[in-house]
Structure 1
Amino acid sequence: MSRSALVEGVSRALEAGGADAVADLRRDAYGHGVSLVADVLVESGVRAACLDPEGTEVASAAGMAAVPDPPTVDPVLLFGLPRASTGAVAGSQPVRPVMSLIGSVLSVKALRAGEGVSYNYTHIAHQDTRIALVSGGFGQGVARALGNQVSVEIRGALYPIVGRVAMDVCVVDIGDADVARSDEVIYFGGEGPAGPALATWEAASGLTAAELVCALGLRLPREVIA
């Protein structure tokens, strides 16, 4: 998670919502973590938020009060979510994503024409190719509906997820690309082609971006960057 992107989003939210802004930090701050977001909000002068009971103690320790009123801080600005998921005004200036979902290449192998991938072989190779097994599956919040529908970013290029999404891994068709074990895999977020991928995930899964990021669970370690 990018602290600087969060600070930027909070600043723009305050410009739009005024000094009495109320944030929505329910659902573990949309999966971003109440502690981080509450700290940034308090530093920026926002001291009220809608909270789940389990987040109240953490937010209170940061100096934030729980309120029942609807939030006035746009979740789009606060968390960098696609505007389509919130019904916000089309054409508004985009914001940087606060969260990225990142895995790694576990192994690379050949896949021959006619061979299938993952459970029930929902993908059959039409020609000889190469595939990468990458970390991240429905146990980490990668929705099952994304298999055969979306791509991930490796070394600045996009490669499709093929076959069913498994509990902890996905399979990606990399063709003849120069991809190696331990390479970083970006599912969404970041500065490259996968930056806006949550909008594609919405279309493929039928879920909103807010629902998708809230599904990222405790099995995922969080890392805060500048």
Structure 2
Amino acid sequence: MGPVREARVLVDALTENIAVLDRAGVLIDVSADAYGHGVVRVAEAARTVGVRSFFVATADDALRTASLVPDADLVVGRVAEGRRDEIAAAGIAVSSERAGERVERDSVYGFDGRASAAMSLRSRVLATKAIRAGDGVSYGYTYRAPRDGRTALVGIGYGDGVHRHAGNTAFVLLDGAMLPVVGRVAMNVFVVFLGDRRVDDGADVVLFGDERSGEPPLTRWAAALGVQPASVTAGIGARVERTVR
């Protein structure tokens, strides 16, 4: 059985997404630790298809990235005048000095809904229980069961970056079906209404992932929450174990 909280970085998808880009003058955006995918992993994937130039938005991010990927051709966005010497000493260029280059982000990580998603966010069922029609779920009882059935407690919550708006709006893949997240998302867990289904403790729950494998798309999850896909992956917390597939 795998981790209770897992963000799988899909390296093959990353590599394929970068490989199909027009790579002339391209800068891969690796801001915010490559939006939660891991800047080292993304840099390695890019290098396998001949891309060695990267973009970050801030000076602090640029210095951190330069320390992790010291041989990268790194470009930073706007830099305060007082930090230009520090940035130059680290061998980092400023975007205003690099005319004719373009930054690629959404097509690299699958944020655009056309390229394959480069991450799958997953958890596991901790426990299930019976529920009667009209019973409330989670604190505040913002959801009441429409009929008798069962619920599953899933081991990931807003403390791990699952947006609290997921309650009563989003769906997850569990037992081969898209099932609703119900009630308020708690710090460590959320609840899924199973209907008449019976699932085992430890069953895999997929919030979003690789559409090619039948997993729900990141763009659908983000749309249900009313946020951008980049904010979803960048916001995944440190308690979530990163694995590579």
- What range describes the TM-score normalised by the shorter chain of this pair? 0.7 to 0.9
Give the CA RMSD over aligned residues: 1.7
SS at match of 1:222: strand
Q: Which amino acid aligns with 1:65?
A: D
Distance in 2 between residues matched to 1:73 and 1:203, nearest whole Å: 24
Corresponding residue of 1:59: 69
SS at match of 1:49: strand
SS at match of 2:195: coil
Matches within 5 A, 1:140-179: 140-179=160-199
Higher relative contact order by CA 8 Å / sep ≥ 6: 1 or 2? 2
State whether residues 152 and 194 of structure 1, in contact with CA within 8 Å, keep that contact through their aligned partners in structure 2: no
Corresponding residue of 1:89: none
Distance in 2 between residues matched to 1:3 and 1:155, nearest whole Å: 26
What TM-score does the superposition give when structure 1 sets the normalisation length?
0.86
1:195 to 213, 216, 237: 216
CA displacement at 1:56 relative to structure 2: 2.2
SS at match of 2:236: coil
- 1:9 paired to 2:17: yes
Q: Deviations over 1:154-176 (max 9, x none)?
A: 13211100000011111000111
CA displacement at 1:21 relative to structure 2: 1.4
Q: Which amino acid aligns with 2:184?
A: R
What TM-score does the superposition give when structure 2 sets the normalisation length?
0.80
Q: Which amino acid aligns with 1:104?
A: R
- 1:29 paired to 2:34: yes
Q: Which has the larger share of strand?
A: 2
State whether residues 158 and 194 of structure 1, in contact with CA within 8 Å, keep that contact through their aligned partners in structure 2: no
SS at match of 1:217: coil
Q: Which amino acid aligns with 2:105?
A: P
Corresponding residue of 1:50: 55
Aligned-residue identity in percent: 39
Flag structure 2 segments of 5+ consecutive residues without an equivalent: 1-8, 77-94
Q: Deviations over 1:112-151 (max 9, x none)?
A: 1221111101001121110000111111111001100011
Aligned residues between the structures: 209
State whether residues 209 and 215 of structure 2, in contact with CA within 8 Å, keep that contact through their aligned partners in structure 1: yes
Distance in 1 between residues matched to 2:46 and 2:180, nearest whole Å: 37
Distance in 2 between residues matched to 1:173 and 1:193, nearest whole Å: 21
Distance in 2 between residues matched to 1:214 and 1:31, nearest whole Å: 4
Distance in 1 between residues matched to 2:214 and 2:53, nearest whole Å: 35
Distance in 1 between residues matched to 2:12 and 2:185, nearest whole Å: 32
- 1:216 paired to 2:216: no
Distance in 1 between residues matched to 2:10 and 2:102, nearest whole Å: 22
The 1:213–1:49 alpha-carbon spacing in structure 2 relative to 1, beyond 3 Å, is: same
Flag structure 1 segments of 5+ consecutive residues without an equivalent: 84-93
State whether residues 118 and 209 of structure 2, in contact with CA within 8 Å, keep that contact through their aligned partners in structure 1: yes
Q: Which amino acid aligns with 1:67?
A: V
Q: Deviations over 1:58-112 (max 9, x none)?
A: 122xx312213287353222111134xxxxxxxxxx2211100000011110011
